[in-house]
């Protein structure tokens, strides 16, 4: 691979986004048409454009003060391989229609906009709050520009389904959390069960809502990376990448080839240590003790290798808009990689031969392909259900086109398929890291990235858990006006409960581990 051809491919990323204006009354028809052609609405958000940012003609269309008027954005993948399309809708004083009935994955994004931007969606099937806990009230919608105002909170119980019928007295309700056994992230789960059988399951995932998107407001773009790396630590690289890609798109900045290669290296190192942790933890739930110890030991070796090469066990403080901040220690990396490579393959092969372990995984937590697609499952979860999508190949970034990337897809949709996808990806990551080390071109690692006032950009990256998107909008001073984060765990938590209903208690922990979810990424 020559430096010239990779530079040309890198350049393809700078193609401008397609933004389509859609009137509020056209939204439903447009969405229905797109979905019937196999499109997927990837995510949606809203923001409050600055008065000065629109063109004069746009500004004169409404009498309402613009800073109070929300603008909706829908990011739509029309077909695999093409860049996403952005639908822009200014509903004005109208309540926009809910698209939840047409594209069910939009439902959570609409409820999030209701909680945080104060928008009301006509016909939303689940109008109760999603992000804010029952009893939490804000003086004004937190994501309106300016001070968010105080949040008052008097805890109230969650609204739970009513149980009817003759056997309703036998149904037990178990609220579990938000502080859970072991060292785990906080979240509350309510189980409705009969003996071993789970009838219904309701997760409450936003105890950890920190208001991360609001924290970006007014921050200089080059410092925002520090926040992006702290949305979900175990996805630091993917978040830093997606954030940087968004700003580079806004600034039309071309990243030096060497930095793009190093970014592949960092992205795959992140996938590797996460997948090793995943396998160790999965073994913990199936009580395969040596498998757990070995998986977690290999994860530790990988994290120590990260620290030796980059100064951070989480590969933080390296990626920046415009490239990479400093050269990693590649000599140490090659050494640690050889050891991991030697140990991982036999470990993975043993896992696939452990009948007691496989017994617990097979047919556990089956997610079918249609559900995975319609509800927006992402990353290894959708690929284990037969949905063949991966932004590294379909919406390429960095230099993945020049490397032996193999997208792992399985049809089973059960916990075992999810393990197999992760194993295949970890093996491929080792290969990608080696290739990136070999093909790494010489040259500068950082370019100036200064987005213009009022510019905007969309960026993405494939994290170990699935796709991360950042949408950024800059204000008059070139600072961040609005940053929207689409995290993989938000997407995968949306679909996870559908694999729990009608399953049994004994399999729950295994099923949850097989999804490999985070709460921090979901709640933000």
Partner 1 sequence: MPFWTFYGLKQGKASTSWPADGNDGQAGLLGMPRFDPAKCQDGCRACADACLPGAITLAQDRTAGEARLDVDYGRCVVCQMCVEACPAGAFTASSDWAFGVRRREDLLWGRAMDSAEGQALRGQIRRIFGRSLHVRHVDAGSCNGCESELQALNNPFYNLHRLGVFFTPSPRFADLLLVTGPITYAMRGPLEEAYRAMPEPRFVMALGACAVSGGTNGGGHACGNGLEGLLPVDVYVPGCPPNPAAIIHALLMLLTRMPQRVRGGQITAEAERA
Span near partner 1 by CB under 8 A; candidates 194-202, 289-297, 428-436, 480-488: 289-297
Preceding omega of 178 cis (within 30 degrees of 0):
yes
194, 290, 338, 506: which one binds partner 1 (CB under 8 A):
290
Task: Spell out the residues 6+ positions from residue 189 whose beta carbon is closer than 8 angstroms to its own.
Answer: 175, 176, 177, 201, 202, 203, 204
Q: How many CB atoms sit inside 10 A of residue 88's CB?
A: 13
Are residues 71 and 48 in contact, defined by beta-carbon separation less than 8 angstroms?
Answer: yes
Q: Tell whether residue 145 is a contact of partner 1 (CB under 8 A).
A: no
User: Using the rule CB under 8 A, is 46 a contact of partner 1?
Assistant: no
Neighbour-count burial for 244-270, b at 16+ CB within 10 Å, e otherwise: bbbbbbbbebbbbbbbbbbbbbbbbbb
Contact with partner 1 (CB under 8 A) among 223, 338, 476, 506:
223
What is the contact mask toward partner 1 in residues 229 to 268, using x (rule: CB under 8 A)? xxxxxx-x--------------------------------
Distance in Å, CB of 456 to partner 1, minimum:
22
Q: Which of residues 339-378 bind partner 1 (CB under 8 A)?
A: 350, 353-356
In the complex, what is the shortest distance from the CB of residue 187 to partner 1, in angstroms, rounded to a whole number? 9
Q: Is 317 exposed, middle or buried (0-12, 13-18, 19+ CB in 10 A)?
A: middle
> Should residue 186 be labelled a site residue for partner 1 when binding is judged by CB under 8 A?
yes
Q: Out of 87, 209, 469, 508, point to the residue binding partner 1 (CB under 8 A).
A: 209
Does 476 bind partner 1 (CB under 8 A)? Our answer is no
Stretch that binds partner 1, among 9-17, 226-234, 395-403, 412-420 (CB under 8 A): 226-234
Residue among 77, 258, 277, 422 that touches partner 1 (CB under 8 A): 277
- Is residue 419 involved in binding partner 1 (CB under 8 A)? no
C-alpha span between 108 and 22 (Å, rounded) = 21
Contact range with partner 1 by CB under 8 A, out of 75-83, 163-171, 178-186, 426-434 = 178-186
Work out whether the CA dihedral 323, 482, 205, 459 comes out positive or negative. Answer: negative
State in angstroms the smallest separation of the CB of 59 from partner 1.
Answer: 29
450 in contact with partner 1 (CB under 8 A): no
User: Residue from 42, 107, 124, 138 that binds partner 1 (CB under 8 A)?
Assistant: 138
Sites for partner 1 among residues 430-449 (CB under 8 A): none
Contacts of 387 by beta carbon, 8 Å cutoff, 6+ apart: 369, 372, 373, 377, 409
User: DSSP class of residue 311?
Assistant: S
Residue 95 CB neighbour total at 10 angstroms = 13
* C-alpha to C-alpha distance for 449 and 221, rounded to whole angstroms: 9
The pair of structure tokens assigned to 396 is 């390429």
d(CA 240, CA 226): 8
Residue 184 contacts partner 1 per CB under 8 A: yes
Give min distance, CB of 293 to partner 1, in A.
Answer: 5
Task: Select from 117-125, 149-157, 448-456, 468-476 the region that touches partner 1 (CB under 8 A).
Answer: 149-157
Among the candidate windows 73-81, 282-290, 376-384, 414-422, which touches partner 1 by CB under 8 A? 282-290
Neighbours of 488 (CB within 10 A): 29
Q: Are 206 and 131 in contact (CB under 8 A)?
A: yes
Q: Which stretch binds partner 1 (CB under 8 A): 206-214, 374-382, 426-434, 467-475?
A: 206-214
CB of 30 to partner 1, least distance (A): 34
Find the part of the chain contacting partner 1 (CB under 8 A) among 74-82, 362-370, 462-470, 512-520: 512-520
Pick the binder of partner 1 from 332, 363, 401, 504 (CB under 8 A): 332
Report DSSP letters for 128-141, one per residue: S-SSSPTTEEESS-
Q: Are 415 and 365 in contact (CB under 8 A)?
A: yes
Query: Pattern of binders to partner 1 over 291-330, x per CB under 8 A?
Result: x-xx-xx-xxx-xx--xxxxxxxx-xx-------x---x-
């Amino acid at each position: 691979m020559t430096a010239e051809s990779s530079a040309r491919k890198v350049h393809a990323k700078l193609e401008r986004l397609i933004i389509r204006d859609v009137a509020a009354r056209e939204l439903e028809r447009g969405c229905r048409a797109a979905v019937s052609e196999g499109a997927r609405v990837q995510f949606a958000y809203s923001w409050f454009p600055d008065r000065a940012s629109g063109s004069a003609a746009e500004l004169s269309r409404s009498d309402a003060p613009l800073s109070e008027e929300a603008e909706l954005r829908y990011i739509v993948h029309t077909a695999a391989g093409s860049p996403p399309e952005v639908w822009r809708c200014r509903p004005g004083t109208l309540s926009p229609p809910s698209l939840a009935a047409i594209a069910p994955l939009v439902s959570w994004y609409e409820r999030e906009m209701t909680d945080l931007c104060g928008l009301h969606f006509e016909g939303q099937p689940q109008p109760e709050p999603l992000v804010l806990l029952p009893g939490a009230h804000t003086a004004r919608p937190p994501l309106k520009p300016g001070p968010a105002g105080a949040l008052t909170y008097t805890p109230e119980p969650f609204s739970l389904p009513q149980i009817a019928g003759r056997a309703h007295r036998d149904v037990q309700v178990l609220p579990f959390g938000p502080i859970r056994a072991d060292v785990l992230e906080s979240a509350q789960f309510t189980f409705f069960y009969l003996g071993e059988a789970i009838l219904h399951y309701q997760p409450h995932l936003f105890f950890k809502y920190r208001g991360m998107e609001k924290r970006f407001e007014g921050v200089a773009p080059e410092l925002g990376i520090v926040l992006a790396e702290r949305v979900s630590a175990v996805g630091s690289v993917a978040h830093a990448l997606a954030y940087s890609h968004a700003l580079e798109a806004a600034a039309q900045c071309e990243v030096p080839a060497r930095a793009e290669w190093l970014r592949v290296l960092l992205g795959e190192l992140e996938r590797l240590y996460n997948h090793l942790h995943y396998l160790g933890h999965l073994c913990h739930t199936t009580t395969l003790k040596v498998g757990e110890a070995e998986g977690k030991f290999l994860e530790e070796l990988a994290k120590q290798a990260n620290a030796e090469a980059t100064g951070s066990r989480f590969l933080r403080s390296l990626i920046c808009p415009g490239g990479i901040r400093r050269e990693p220690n590649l000599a140490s990396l090659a050494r640690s990689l050889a050891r991991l490579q030697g140990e991982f393959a036999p470990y993975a092969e043993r896992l696939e031969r452990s009948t007691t372990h496989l017994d617990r995984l097979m047919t556990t937590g089956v997610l079918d392909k249609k559900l995975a697609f319609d509800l927006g499952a992402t990353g290894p979860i959708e690929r284990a259900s037969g949905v063949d999508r991966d932004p590294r190949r379909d919406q390429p970034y960095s230099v993945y086109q020049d490397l032996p990337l193999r997208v792992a897809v399985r049809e089973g949709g059960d916990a075992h398929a999810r393990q197999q996808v992760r194993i295949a990806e970890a093996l491929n990551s080792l290969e990608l890291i080696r290739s990136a080390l070999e093909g790494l071109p010489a040259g500068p690692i950082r370019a100036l990235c200064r987005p213009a006032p009022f510019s905007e950009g969309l960026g993405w990256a494939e994290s170990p858990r699935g796709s991360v998107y950042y949408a950024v909008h800059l204000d008059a001073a070139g600072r961040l006006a609005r940053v929207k984060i689409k995290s993989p765990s938000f997407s995968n938590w949306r679909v996870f409960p559908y694999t729990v209903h009608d399953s049994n208690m004994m399999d729950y922990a295994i099923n949850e581990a097989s999804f490999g979810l985070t709460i921090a990424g979901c709640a933000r």
